[in-house]
Amino acid sequence: MFECQLFLIYSCSVLFIIYYLYTMSTPLVGIIMGSESDLVIMNAAAEVLKKFGIAYEIDIVSAHRTPEKMYTYAKDASGRGLKVIIAGAGGAAHLPGMVASLTPLPVIGVPVKSSNSIDGWDSLLSIVQMPNGVPVATVAVNAAQNAGILAAQIIGTNDKLIQKKVSEYKEELKDKVNKSSDDIKK
């Protein structure tokens, strides 16, 4: 009888560990960008997600250059378990909007001030000026860090631990400003 209980506890623990490792490694956020040249900007989103302990995947997907890959990525994203997509692109930045048109997931757009961009304005306007019905939550030009934070906040609506980490992060911001405020008066 005792051995039976021990075996049950052991099996449950193993199952729990497998489940935990599985959920920890299944990407919840997909970070995509139109070109490898965007990576220097988009890395900031990945860094934030790492800080919050949110599993993510990262890839190059272009609506212009790899339309079939873009279609498959957007169509499959929800079924693969992703909860949010962060899409960065520069110039004629159609990637975030096209992905948003193909998925029920929230899409956060990062306008990248790329080498072919007119000061970031074209990237910003082509991402933010979406027609009614197909929103892209657009952050500031090159603001991939904010995209990561927003993704964490969305995940946090259904995950108390992540929400707590976001709140702690906001406290850190407040402490930093208060410290600068004290320092500047010295």
Binding mask 2-21 for ligand C2R (x = CB under 6 A): --------------------
Alpha carbons 110 and 128: distance in angstroms, whole number: 9
Number of residues lying near ligand C2R (CB under 6 A): 20
Among 12, 18, 26, 65, binds ligand C2R (CB under 6 A): 65
For residues 33 and 108, which CB has a smaller minimum distance to ligand C2R in the complex?
A: 33
Strands, E assignment, the chain: 29-33, 56-60, 84-90, 107-112, 137-138
Alpha carbons 42 and 145: distance in angstroms, whole number: 8
Binding mask 115-154 for ligand C2R (x = CB under 6 A): xx--------------------------------------
Binding mask 26-55 for ligand C2R (x = CB under 6 A): -------xxx-xx-----------------
Alpha carbons 167 and 161: distance in angstroms, whole number: 10
Among 74, 89, 136, 143, binds ligand C2R (CB under 6 A): 89
Q: Would you call 159 helix, strand, or coil by DSSP? A: coil
Measured over all CA atoms, what is the biggest interatomic distance in the chain, rounded to whole angstroms? 74
Name residues contacting ligand C2R, limited to 97-116 (CB under 6 A).
112, 114-116
92 binds ligand C2R (CB under 6 A): yes
Alpha carbons 5 and 126: distance in angstroms, whole number: 61
Of 111, 108, 102, nearest to 34 by C-alpha is 111
CB of 6 to ligand C2R, least distance (A): 57
Q: Which amino acid is at 113?
A: K
| Cα→Cα distances 186→117, 175, 178, Å | 43, 17, 13
For residues 71 and 169, which CB has a smaller minimum distance to ligand C2R in the complex?
A: 71
CB of 88 to ligand C2R, least distance (A): 7
